[in-house]
Homo-oligomer: A and B are copies of this chain.
Amino acid sequence: MKALVQLHSGFTDKPEPFKLETMAPYVALEEIAVPEPGDDQVVVKVAAASVNPSDVMFIKGMYGQPRREGVPAGFEGVGEVVGGKAAGEGLVGKRVAFTGTGSGTWAEYAITDASVCIPLMEGIRDEDGAALIVNPMTAIAMFGIVKDEGQKSFVMTAGASQLCKLIIGLAAQEGYRPIVTVRRDEQIEPLKALGAVHALNEKAADFHARMAEILREEKPRIFLDAVTGDLAATIFHAMGGGARWIIYGRLDESLPVIKEPGHMIFLGKRIEGFWLVRWMREAGEEGRIAAVMEVQKQFLTGNWSTDISARLSLEEAMEGLPGALAVPNGKVFIVP
Contact = CB atoms under 8 A, between A and B. Distances in A.
Interface of A: 62-64, 228, 247-250, 255-259, 261-275, 278
Contacts of A267: 64, 273
A64 B272 contact: no
Most central of A63, A247, A265 by chain B CB within 10 Å: A265
A262 B278 contact: no
Nearest first, the 9 A-B pairs at minimum CB distance are: A64-B266, A264-B273, A271-B271, A265-B273, A228-B261, A247-B264, A270-B272, A265-B275, A255-B257
Nearest to A271: B271
A268 B247 CA distance: 10
Number of identical protomers: 2
Contacts of A255: 257-259, 261
Contact of A262 (B62, B264, B274): B62
Contacts of A265: 64, 247-250, 273-275
Chain A contact residues, majority secondary structure: loop
A258 B261 contact: no
B270 A270 contact: yes
Contacts of A259: 255
Contacts of A247: 261, 264-265
A264 B272 contact: yes
Contacts of A266: 63-64, 273, 275
A258 B188 CA distance: 30
14 contacts: A64-B265, A64-B267, A228-B261, A247-B261, A248-B265, A255-B261, A257-B258, A258-B258, A261-B273, A264-B273, A265-B275, A268-B278, A270-B273, A271-B271
A276 to B, nearest CB: 10
B262 A269 contact: no
A53 to B, nearest CB: 11
A219 to B, nearest CB: 18
Contacts of A269: 273
Contact of A270 (B250, B256, B258, B271): B271
Contacts of A274: 265
